[in-house]
Chain A
């Protein structure tokens, strides 16, 4: 991109907030970057984002936004345009203890917010397989959360986003009221703000929002039960979720847990796995002491009936501790160098079929089934189950890398045929899903896109090719 443009943007955002060159941008890409035409911009204020985007719009420069630790689109570095990273907008504007919410900018991380909230005796829900450490980003992108079991799925009420033209989109009740009044998610007309969720920012870049917080209760207890088979373990998770006894719940296999709990040290994985049974169902109970005791008792009885064995000692401590922080997907790369996943939703009764399909595909590509990390998180009181299978592989080994990619793609193809619900498809999976959706679905997305971004400059091709 020509220097004049860079200078102009630097004028808007300040010299220290605009970067060019592969070195500055390599952190956003998994693969080694030799050169790039992208200009990295790290605005610090809403005005800076707005002015930058407006400048780009006027000069027909594509705008890309950082959506996670790594950009999913591998072709991006060769494209011309600017890449906006909002990490410098890290102000926590307000913490509202009374109304259990936090007013934050997109640069606020889980770690920052966790620390601030702890002082107010509050906490937030953490992602199961987060791709970003930005709280707002994670919530608006609807990443699956560990507490989705017994808490409504969406964890934000209002957001502000910058559109391609530099104008501001304000969602929900703040369309008509000033901040300080109701923070209510609904738009004052047809609900168009939900379009922004998991949209790869093709409509606009959310930079500010109100997220939900939770009070720290009198008592919290984490319990875990191990099982030899998936069916019984899943039945327990369904029962406990459906009865609304737990705050968080999940069910994972030994491979997933050993990778997650090894603290990024590859040498610990095997050792941790040895301590675990094939499946472990985990629940946290939070509330008044008497209730926690009651729920614990009920869960224990139910687990016993289903043949579960209580997990105690170090393993339980490890689980308990792990639940206090977000789980990032990229943190699993350490094990074999890279992790790919298949994730989406299926009914509890069909969980086994999901994993069998993935295992079948994995086996045909040379992956052993016991090497696949598996986690199941109930959504909405057990109404459905988030199923994720992680394939760990060595990216340096081209054959293995190809096999992993093939396993994931074939698994999705086959699962989608069977009704697997992929809620936030990206890249190739998005192409696959949107080729299956009813044509009007994509047409509506395109219409809205043409309205808020007539020149098609905001994150082009990031959700669907050509959009």
Chain B
């Protein structure tokens, strides 16, 4: 029996492969693609280069709503030299190059806008060196948190915990995300990059930091100007990072936890508590989780998640303390508990046993391990299949009011009431950075990509929430300037609405045009009389 749906289409064999086609393109010309393909095969080996549609289709979409676009060629470089060869050939034939770390982008970052060569870096997956005593690991782009965390634990360290999938790439997260580490005491994102090795679009190798002259990992930036974070939020427009030294942080041998919880839906109270604990700086990991997030993170499946969410109080603090002895970990927990009890007498403190009970029968999530390996899965997206992340930064004090407005803006839109966000629709969590000087807020809206109505409803809700946040002055966590540049209206508006950004954007444009003279690395613009303009189709 043949598939009933689209049977007629299959029978007619009308194949429509979505490429975003440019008029009279200078790049990605078919005759050049052919030549590039054969040269790439020669350089990388036949096995690691393909233009088969069945291979290409795996890179045309991600979990975002960015329209599908197929690359023309997919390459799997195995070394820095291979990446250099890809750039060399791409420059010669004017083919676009799009880097692809481990492919967990939630916002379409690795979908090549106009096709070209997609450079899947997962073959480069070595932990080149891991040093527990001096707390660093030198890794390649294919290394994910799962393997690095396991490796780090073996040498008495941790890698910072993003609440992403364990299979997410460490380098790509350090370059594009990783702002939501729970252990902000140790720094976040860029603080954890010690040095990088990158291939610039011209094929030249750049090494930064200690790697620039083979020095020891000093845990401080330099020498001189700090170039190590240059590729962060470059989105592959400035080259491909092929190695990175990431900082590890010490894993104490003993742990303790307390579970402060607050039933009332008053985020401001919880934010204050969060702020206080953050400033006290005793926690190893610290975040605020709404009951819905708790459910999603520790529930074994959707049903379990709902059950956990129902059982948990509305607001919860995730606090993990470490110590050289159990006595030390216990004391830190006790002090924090006492402090919270004094200031927030209305808080409950859940017994650990109750939480252990919640996951006792779980096959996949063990609570005790969960606190050690927070980064277990992309669990947030599972509720309905896909999700949209809003990642914002502000001071904790400002955040509460804005969150309320955002919630109003999106809950009205997405059809829930103003009551606590239904776990089926959205979740929010707050997390302080560096002793609470700033804080990160994530709001996730869940949707089903396959259900258009749901998608539109959530998209509008997301748009309204984000617009509200931006209008209130919150900063977007993952600096998008590198890919936003060149949008005509935005370019016109920037000097007026973001005057502080003019110099920065100007420098970025010039930097890009010098470093990538043929405009091949994650091409999104036309170079036009010293400016970069978004390609309009």
Direct contact of A and B (CB under 8 A): yes
Task: Give complex CA distance A242, B231 in Å.
Answer: 30
Give, as a whole number of angstroms, the nearest-CB distance from B196 to chain A.
Answer: 11
Give, as a whole number of angstroms, the nearest-CB distance from B281 to chain A.
Answer: 8
Verify B226–A181 contact, CB threshold 8 A: no
Kindly identify, within residues 183 to 236 of chain B, every residue whose CB is under 8 Å from any CB belonging to chain A.
186-187, 189-191, 200, 204-208, 210, 212-234
Among A148, A173, A434, which residue has the most Cβ atoms of chain B within 10 A?
A173
A364 within 8 A of B: no
Also in contact, A447 and B511, with CB within 8 A (given A189-B479, A381-B249, A383-B219): yes
Verify B438–A191 contact, CB threshold 8 A: no
Verify B250–A242 contact, CB threshold 8 A: yes
Q: When the two chains form the complex, which single residue of B225, B435, B473, B502 contacts A194, counting CB atoms closer than 8 Å?
A: B225
- On chain B, the number of residues with a Cβ less than 8 Å from chain A's Cβ atoms is 93
Verify B213–A192 contact, CB threshold 8 A: no
- On chain A, the number of residues with a Cβ less than 8 Å from chain B's Cβ atoms is 94
Q: When the two chains form the complex, which single residue of B135, B227, B474 contacts A182, counting CB atoms closer than 8 Å?
A: B474
Verify A190–B508 contact, CB threshold 8 A: yes
Q: Which residues of A contact B510 (CB under 8 A)?
A: 451
Q: When the two chains form the complex, which single residue of B187, B481, B506, B507 contacts A152, counting CB atoms closer than 8 Å?
A: B187
Task: Give complex CA distance A243, B254 in Å.
Answer: 11
Verify B437–A183 contact, CB threshold 8 A: yes
Q: Which residues of A contact B511 (CB under 8 A)?
A: 190, 192, 447-448, 451
Verify B503–A441 contact, CB threshold 8 A: no
A68 within 8 A of B: no
Task: Give complex CA distance A291, B338 in Å.
Answer: 14
Verify A437–B218 contact, CB threshold 8 A: no
Verify B279–A437 contact, CB threshold 8 A: no
Verify B216–A181 contact, CB threshold 8 A: no
Contact with B along A372-402 (1 / 0, CB 8 A): 0000000111111000000000000000000
Contact with B along A153-172 (1 / 0, CB 8 A): 11001000001000111100
Q: When the two chains form the complex, which single residue of B215, B439, B474 contacts A419, counting CB atoms closer than 8 Å?
A: B215
Q: When the two chains form the complex, which single residue of A148, A169, A348, A416 contacts B504, counting CB atoms closer than 8 Å?
A: A169
Give, as a whole number of angstroms, the nearest-CB distance from A94 to chain B.
Answer: 13
Kindly identify, within residues 349 to 384 of chain A, every residue whose CB is under 8 Å from any CB belonging to chain B.
349-350, 379-384
Verify B331–A294 contact, CB threshold 8 A: yes
Give, as a whole number of angstroms, the nearest-CB distance from B425 to chain A.
Answer: 26
One of A81-89, A305-313, A324-332, A339-347 contacting the partner: A339-347
Verify A350–B216 contact, CB threshold 8 A: yes
Verify A384–B217 contact, CB threshold 8 A: yes
Q: When the two chains form the complex, which single residue of B189, B220, B324, B397 contacts A186, counting CB atoms closer than 8 Å?
A: B189
Verify A381–B135 contact, CB threshold 8 A: yes
Name the residue of chain B whose CB is nearest to the CB of A440: B206
B54 within 8 A of A: no
Verify B438–A192 contact, CB threshold 8 A: no
Give, as a whole number of angstroms, the nearest-CB distance from A295 to chain B.
Answer: 8
Verify B393–A189 contact, CB threshold 8 A: no
Also in contact, A142 and B503, with CB within 8 A (given A189-B481, A288-B335): no
Also in contact, A383 and B473, with CB within 8 A (given A182-B395, A197-B221): no
Verify A168–B503 contact, CB threshold 8 A: yes
Name the residue of chain B whose CB is nearest to the CB of A245: B324
Verify B279–A153 contact, CB threshold 8 A: no
Q: Which residues of A contact B332 (CB under 8 A)?
A: 291
Verify B214–A181 contact, CB threshold 8 A: no
A174 within 8 A of B: yes
Give, as a whole number of angstroms, the nearest-CB distance from A30 to chain B.
Answer: 22
Also in contact, A383 and B507, with CB within 8 A (given A191-B230, A198-B226): no
Task: Give complex CA distance A170, B229 in Å.
Answer: 17
Verify A440–B222 contact, CB threshold 8 A: no
Q: Which residues of B contact A445 (CB under 8 A)?
A: 224-225, 227
Verify B435–A177 contact, CB threshold 8 A: no
B482 within 8 A of A: yes
Report 21 cross-chain contacts, Cβ distance below 8 Å, ordered by A residue: A142-B220, A167-B502, A169-B504, A170-B500, A182-B393, A182-B398, A183-B438, A189-B485, A189-B504, A194-B226, A197-B225, A203-B225, A425-B222, A425-B224, A436-B213, A437-B223, A441-B227, A444-B206, A445-B225, A447-B511, A451-B511
Which residues in B have some Cβ–Cβ distance to A below 8 Å?
133-136, 179, 186-187, 189-191, 200, 204-208, 210, 212-234, 237-238, 247, 249-250, 252, 275, 279, 282, 322, 324-325, 327-328, 331-332, 335, 393-398, 433-439, 473-476, 479-482, 485, 498, 500-508, 510-511, 514-515
6 cross-chain pairs, A with B, having the tightest CB-CB distances, nearest first: A423-B222, A189-B481, A345-B218, A421-B218, A191-B229, A188-B479
Additional A-B contact list (9), CB under 8 Å, known A168-B500, A192-B507, A419-B216 = A180-B398, A184-B475, A188-B476, A199-B224, A243-B250, A291-B332, A421-B217, A451-B506, A451-B514
